């Protein structure tokens, strides 16, 4: 891959039936990095991935992936990327080994090289013991790992993962997270879309937050958390009247539980002063807890103002596409 950039997008726009789904998107993903794209349903995440993976042309703007233009050099881009969608796309009637050997042959490998590559990937993803079992007998986590392995048969330079852990149990998610870390360590750029904010927090070197077709914030997870609030003081009001008095000071509101989140720097002096300022008579706050800000706080603070255009996006990616 020329240079150090895996994905570079400038001014991407896409409109469906008069509705703007992407509105001048700019993105930069370095080689070997894990980049997470967050946003609510309909924010434009899947449309962005489809454009970068050459499945949908942009109406305006330019994108370069693995050193090549996604419109002018589609074939070259496709030889250098892998796309894994929200649901595992494996042949249930074939064994794990047969699935990977088939993908190797479709990728142009010789029979011998396809067999060797399949064995490498089965071992790498902890599937060697199940290599000769039909995929229909695999658990959800095993199927996702097999699906990801299939996308790596051709050793792609850029791996697109569109909500890859949807429906997985916590253990299977952890296993897939480790696979993503391994990919990055070996030099591949990983472009991840997810609605699991912990996932982005755990994996991503950089995070971009989308809302209503625009990137509303980008940076490291820590930078984005600090932008909203480095720490948060959660206070539980004694009653509805107390909640109403405290509400104007809050960055996060939960009227059902009478809980409010207040920004703080987390120091003891600031917390004491904040409590005295908020509740000088010590009658409005029943109890409090101190939290470090999370990506949930970032997500809630920066998204949700736009219209849900999910049904106007291009169809969600399904399974692994060897494009």
Q: What is the mean pLDDT of the chain?
A: 86
Domains observed in the chain: 5-90+138-224+316-321 (3.40.50.300), 231-292 (no CATH)
Cβ-proximal residues to 3 (8 Å cutoff; 6+ apart), any chain: 31, 67
β-pair partners for 290: 233
| pLDDT tens, residue by residue, 120-135 | 999 988 899 999 999 9
pLDDT tier at 228, thresholds 50, 70, 90: low
Q: What is the pLDDT of residue 229?
A: 59
- Judge residue 35's burial from the number of C-beta atoms within 10 Å of its C-beta, 0-12 exposed, 13-18 middle, 19 or more buried: buried
| pLDDT tens, residue by residue, 108-162 | 899 999 999 999 999 988 899 999 999 999 988 888 889 888 888 888 999 999 8
Give the 3-state secondary structure of 164-175. CCCCCCHHHHHH
Query: Quick one: how far is CA 69 from the chain centroid?
Result: 23
**What's the rounded mean pLDDT across residues 208-223?**
88
Task: Specify the pTM.
Answer: 0.73
* DSSP helix/strand/coil, 158: strand
pLDDT of 168 > 90? The answer is no
pLDDT of 263 > 90? The answer is no
Torsion from C-alpha of 84, 74, 190, 3, nearest 10 degrees: 170
In the Cβ-directed half-sphere of 163, how many Cα atoms lie within 13 Å?
15
Q: What is the pLDDT of residue 95?
A: 96
| pLDDT tens, residue by residue, 6-55 | 999 999 999 998 899 999 999 999 999 999 998 888 889 989 999 999 99
Torsion from C-alpha of 199, 296, 169, 93, nearest 10 degrees: -60
Q: What is the pLDDT of residue 1?
A: 41
More confident residue, 282 or 301: 282
Residue 242 and residue 285 in contact, taking contact as beta carbons nearer than 8 Å: yes
Q: What is the pLDDT of residue 186?
A: 85
Lowest pLDDT segment from 32-36, 84-88, 230-234, 302-306: 302-306
Q: Which two tokens stand for residue 156?
A: 């792609």
Percent of the chain exceeding pLDDT 90 equals 52
Percent of the chain exceeding pLDDT 70 equals 91
pLDDT of 246 > 60? The answer is yes
**What's the rounded mean pLDDT across residues 62-81?**
95
């Amino acid at each position: 891959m020329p240079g150090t950039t895996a994905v570079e997008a400038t001014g991407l726009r896409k409109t469906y039936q008069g509705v703007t789904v992407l509105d001048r998107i700019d993105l930069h993903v370095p080689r070997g990095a894990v980049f997470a794209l967050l946003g609510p349903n309909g924010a434009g995440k899947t449309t962005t991935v489809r454009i970068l993976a050459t499945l949908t042309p942009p109406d305006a703007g330019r994108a370069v992936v693995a050193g090549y233009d996604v419109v002018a050099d589609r074939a070259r881009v496709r030889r250098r990327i892998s796309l894994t969608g929200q649901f595992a796309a494996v042949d249930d009637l074939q064994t794990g080994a047969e699935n990977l050997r088939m993908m190797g042959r479709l990728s142009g490998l010789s029979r011998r090289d396809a067999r060797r590559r399949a064995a490498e990937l089965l071992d790498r993803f902890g599937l060697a013991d199940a290599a000769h079992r039909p995929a229909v007998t695999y658990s959800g986590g095993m199927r996702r790992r097999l699906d990801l392995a299939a996308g790596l048969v051709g050793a792609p330079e850029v791996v697109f993962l569109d909500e890859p852990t949807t429906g997985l149990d916590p253990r299977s998610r952890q296993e897939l997270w480790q696979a993503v870390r391994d990919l990055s360590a070996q030099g591949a750029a990983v472009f991840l879309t997810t609605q699991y904010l912990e996932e982005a927090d755990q994996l991503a070197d950089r995070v971009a937050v989308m809302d209503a077709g625009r990137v509303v914030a980008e940076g490291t997870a820590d930078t984005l958390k600090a932008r909203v609030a480095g720490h948060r003081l959660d206070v539980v009001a004694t009653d509805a009247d107390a909640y109403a008095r405290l509400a104007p000071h809050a960055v996060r509101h939960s009227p059902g539980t009478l809980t409010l989140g207040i920004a703080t720097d987390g120091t003891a002096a600031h917390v004491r002063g904040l409590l005295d300022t908020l509740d000088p008579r010590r009658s409005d706050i029943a109890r409090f807890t101190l939290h470090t800000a999370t990506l949930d706080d970032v997500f809630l603070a920066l998204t949700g103002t736009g219209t849900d255009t999910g049904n106007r996006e291009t169809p969600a990616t399904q399974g692994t596409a060897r494009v």
